[in-house]
Amino acid sequence: MCSRGEEKEKAAKLTVDAIEKIEGELKGKQFFGGESIGYLDIALGWMSYWLPVCEEVGSMKIVDPLQFPALTSWIKNFLEHPVIKENLPPRERMIIYFLNRTKELASTPHG
């Protein structure tokens, strides 16, 4: 998200590689544990909300629904679960946060 050029491409590739593993775990399941939300869903749930915001702010696409249908379905199922849906922060605030964070990181020399 904050990287540029070759560094950004490398980070995106590493992310896609990790998502491929997650996709394999989700095939044929609504949630990681089956039909209901479990510990792993909660542990990885941040990804369902933050990743699309990161994609928007970083002007990149990582989760292609055709390449990752199980993950796309899980994201939809997770975000539509009443307990999750009622406790998510407003998307607009997330975008503002990530835009500000991107500016901060871009102004800091990478070591």
3-state secondary structure of 78: helix
3-state secondary structure of 105: helix
Q: What is the mean pLDDT of the chain?
A: 87
Mean pLDDT for the stretch of residues 73-99: 93
Residue 80 — very low, low, confident or very high, per pLDDT cuts 50/70/90? very high
pTM of the model: 0.79
Distance CA 94, CA 106 (A): 18
Does residue 111 carry a pLDDT above 80?
A: no
Higher per-residue pLDDT: 7 or 5: 7
**% of the chain at pLDDT higher than 70:** 94
> What pLDDT score was predicted for residue 61?
83
Nearest to 53 by CA among 80, 27, 89, 24: 89
Distance CA 40, CA 12 (A): 23
Tokens of 77: 């199922």
DSSP classification of residue 37:
-
Is 19 in contact with 63 (CB distance < 8 Å)? yes
Residue 78 — very low, low, confident or very high, per pLDDT cuts 50/70/90? very high
Nearest to 79 by CA among 29, 44, 39, 54: 44
> What pLDDT score was predicted for residue 21?
95
